Structure 1
Amino acid sequence: MNTIKDLSKEIVKRIEDIAQPVKIMHVCGSHEHTIMQHGIRTLLPPEVEVVAGPGCPVCCVPAREVEECLQLAKQGVTIATFGDMLRVPGGSGTLSEAKAEGADVRIVYGVNNAVELAQKIDNDVVFMAAGFETTAPTTAAEIVANPPENFSVLSCHRMIPPALQFLIESGEVNLNALIEPGHVSTIIGTKPYDIFSEKYEIPQVVTGFNPMDVLIAVYLILKQLHEDKAFVQNEYKRAVREEGNLKAQELLDEVFYIKTKEWRGFPPIPNSVMEIKDEFSQVNARERFDIEVGNIPEVVSGCICGAILRGVARPEDCRLFRKECNPTNPIGACMVSKEGTCNIAHRYGSF
């Protein structure tokens, strides 16, 4: 009976047999974690390059949106958000710094906890809703469930397919293939990726998160290239359906409309950000409160987080990495979250 070790050796051999120069991008913090923790890049032939793109939702929130929350906090509003968001840099600091100066900033594990908080306290509560299509349906579900009058949402939800299209068309990365994110794909299915194979002839594989999933995805991509094919292949059939989660999609369509806005490290990406529809304006913090924030430069001196998010640089290319910038003292957003490429590289890369 074959062991996992035997199977992985067999997949690596098959990869070596049909290897050709290729740059494969993934857009998932969990995939990067698996790749780094298990040394998958060291198992691949040198001509097979796997790069990390904008797969960390916390990292992708631009400074301007952090600054919106900082303005609200200064007005006395209670800010509720995920713990990772507290140290993401805005224009004038971080939420962690604001909390240290007396602002009411609370860590929650989900939007439901923020709603519960609003039910318990006599103050306006704004939930800073960061996340991709994976977490956006939970935000939408609470919005349609008639939350307390003192509760509202600052939507920072972003969509993966428009970011991929931007990266492909920009040509900056010169990517040849895509490993698509498993978690996002459970919601949106596989159809939104079809255009990348049909229009740009890019092989794609939707895959799971264990090392075998990732190795199989690389092999399937190389097999498509070897056979001169390009289509979306679903390796993660145990969780992802072609049509995705239709109920979740209906919730997203009911609550959000799509806007063109910037991501951290990116210019405005067309049709890539979810904003709350006018019929739910009473829970849209941008509509309820007086917050006007202009464009804020994303550049932190010496930090190359933007280039890392776009897949054109690795953490090791940054002169601050493991020196001034580390998980205890993160300079850039990519070092803050455990899904951030720099944070993962710090934990699992060789010193």
Structure 2
Amino acid sequence: MRYVDEFRDPAHARVLLQRVRERMALPALRQRHPVRIMEVCGGHTHTIFRHGLEALLPAGLELVHGPGCPVCVLPRERIDDCVAVAAHPGVILATFGDALRVPGTRASLQQARAEGADVRIVYSPLDALALARAHPQREVVFFALGFETTMPATALTVLQASRERIANFSLLCHHISIVPTLQALLEDKDVQLDGFIGPGHVSMVIGSHPYEFIAHRYQKPFVIAGFEPVDILQSVLMLLSQLAAGEACVENQYARVVAEGGNRQALAAVSEVFELREHALWRGLGDIPRSGMRLRQTYAAFDAERRFGLFDMAESVAPEPASACCDQVLKGCCQPKQCPLFGSECIPEHPVGALMVSSEGACAACYQYRR
């Protein structure tokens, strides 16, 4: 408890907030009003809403929400692939719970299960591998999704399946990388940002070096942050200090967890099992080249796309429902409450967009902790 209390200490938070207010009063930052900082990770978004941090910040400082929720950026077509695979006789489709209710173009996996498909919730890819061992006469397909945070576990599971020669196990791979996505945001003229609160869990795997281009090429401050309220406030202060000094660099507030070089063993496993796709579709963001992963030819036997004859991903993403602002929220151009469907047609029990489904979705966080 002492560890958690240290990073939720009200006295420490008040000191940081006062220093944030002092920074915002500096002439260099007053000229920038509003100062717009994007928290990339959905875990940060939930901390911000849960603890009411956005209401404590001074006027002229705005936190906007980024595309760091892997379920939120699942294209409808990828859900369609899962539904199609689950419909095959003898298939068990294993998925994380967050993906169950994400709408496809025709149905969600939850609807497919209600119609008779064998769709099961697992908590790790090793759970899916255990299903394959327990049901040797059936095909077990694991829907592998997530950023660099979850890639190592999937890669190590494939290596384990290869060692055991488990022939009835495969992946429908939708692992994606956060770094090309950040570059796509910075190249988008509609996206106006002054700095980034960087993802802690992804950075635990990849380290801090991959973000250097953000500071050097785009002159945007970037601070890797932890997930407690004091972490967020300290990261905001570090960003404002850079902006006030006219500097842009990558800093690591989460040094207690994130090493500069990342986790080399995890990166080695990912590199052995996966390679980059030329094209990868993101819900709300379109095609971001070389941002998605697929299994290398060495491990093609575990590739569900090859096994079930799925074509590579489509060239364009199916549009969101009319009036939905999912793409604008994912790019930080719109707050969840500004979407006309928020809290009326789109609620967690009946989500229109994936941002209202996921436990890391900005709309779900805003709805759950609305004040």
Shared fold (TM-score greater than 0.5)? yes
Deviation at 1:280, TM superposition (A): 0.5
SS at match of 1:113: helix
For residue 287 of structure 2, the aligned residue among 244, 249, 268 is: 268
Give me the whole-angstrom Cα distance separating, in 2, the residues matched to 1:338 and 1:144.
29
Corresponding residue for 1:134? Answer: 149
Q: Secondary structure at the match of 1:52?
A: strand
Q: Deviations over 1:179-228 (max 9, x none)?
A: 10000000000000011001111111111011000000000000011111
Deviations 1:42-70, CA, capped at 9 Å, x for gaps: 11122111101112111111111111111
Q: When the two structures are aligned, how many residues end up with a matched partner?
A: 349
CA distance in 1, matches of 2:229, 2:115: 44
| Structure-2 residue corresponding to 1:120 | 134
Q: Is the 8 A contact 2:282 2:317 kept in 1?
A: no
Per the alignment, in what secondary structure is the counterpart of residue 111 of structure 2? helix
Counterpart of 1:91?
105
Matched, 1:200 2:218: yes
> Following superposition of structure 1 onto structure 2, how do residues 256-295 of structure 1 map, counting pairs within 5 Å?
256-259=274-277, 260-292=279-311, 294=314, 295=316
Partner of 1:18: 23
How much has 1:232 moved relative to structure 2? 0.6
CA distance in 1, matches of 2:103, 2:349: 14
Q: Matches of 2:84 and 2:59 in 1, distance apart?
A: 48
Q: Which moved more, 1:318-327 or 1:206-215?
A: 318-327
Paired residues of 1:128 and 1:154 also in contact (CA < 8 A): yes
Which residue identity is paired with 1:341? Answer: A
The amino acid that maps onto 1:75 is: H
8 Å contact from structure 1 (residues 71, 291) kept in 2: no
- Which amino acid is 1:135 matched to? T
SS in 2 for 1:270: coil
Q: Which residue of 2 aligns with 1:346?
A: 367
Q: Is the 8 A contact 1:34 1:209 kept in 2?
A: yes
**Counterpart code for 2:132:** A
Do structure 1's residue 223 and structure 2's residue 241 form an aligned pair? yes
Rounded to whole Å, the distance in 2 between the matches of 1:6 and 1:116 is 47
Code of the aligned partner of 1:348: Y
Residue 12 of structure 1, CA deviation: 0.9
Offset, 1:296 = 4.9
Task: Give the structure 1 partner of residue 3 of structure 2.
Answer: none
Name the CA distance, whole Å, in 2 between partners of 1:41 and 1:261. 33
Confirm whether residue 36 of structure 1 aligns to residue 49 of structure 2.
Answer: yes
Distance (whole Å) between structure 1 residues aligned to residue 158 and residue 127 of structure 2 = 13
SS of the residue 2:77 aligns to:
helix
> What is residue 79 of structure 1 aligned with on the other side?
93
Amino acid paired to 1:275: R
Q: Secondary structure at the match of 1:59?
A: coil
Q: After the TM superposition, which of the residue ranges 84-93 and 205-214 deviates more from structure 2?
A: 84-93
Contact 2:356 2:364 in 1 (8 A): yes
The letter of the residue matching 1:68 is D
TM-superposed CA distance for 1:162, in Å, is: 0.6
For residues 197 and 252 of structure 2, the distance between their equivalents in structure 1, rounded to whole angstroms, comes to 10
Query: 1: CA distance between counterparts of 2:145 and 2:319?
Result: 18
The residue number in structure 1 matching 2:259 is 241
Shift of 1:40: 0.8
Q: Secondary structure at the match of 1:115?
A: helix
- Contact 2:224/2:254 (8 A) holds in 1: yes
Q: What secondary structure does 2:67 align onto?
A: coil
Q: Distance in 2 between matches of 1:64 and 1:253?
A: 26
d(CA) in 1 for partners of 2:360 and 2:246?
34
CA distance in 1, matches of 2:189, 2:156: 37
In structure 2, C-alpha distance between the alignment counterparts of 1:241 and 1:209, rounded to whole Å = 16
Unaligned residue ranges in structure 2 (runs of 5+): 1-5
Equivalence for 1:7? 12
Match of 1:251 among 262, 269, 280: 269
Equivalent position SS for 1:93: coil
Tell me the distance in 2 between the aligned counterparts of 1:107 and 1:6.
41
* Unaligned segments of structure 1, at least 5 residues: none
Shift of 1:291: 2.3
Q: 1:51 aligns to what?
A: 64
Distance between the aligned counterparts of 2:9 and 2:317, measured in 1? Answer: 49
Tell me which amino acid in the other structure corresponds to 2:348.
Answer: P
**What's the offset of the Cα at 1:302?**
2.8
Residue-by-residue CA offset, 1:117-176 (whole Å, 9 max, x unaligned): 111112111100111100010000011122521000011111111100100111222111
Q: Is the 8 A contact 2:79 2:104 kept in 1?
A: yes
TM-score (normalised: structure 1) = 0.96
CA spacing shift, 1:136–1:297, aligned 2, 3 Å:
same
1:253-311 Cα deviation digits (max 9, x unpaired): 11111122111101211211111111110001011112247455131233222221121
> Could you say what secondary structure the match of 1:243 adopts?
coil
Are the equivalent residues in 1 in contact too, given 2:76–2:103 (CA < 8 A)? Answer: yes
Retained in 2: the 8 A contact 1:91–1:296?
no
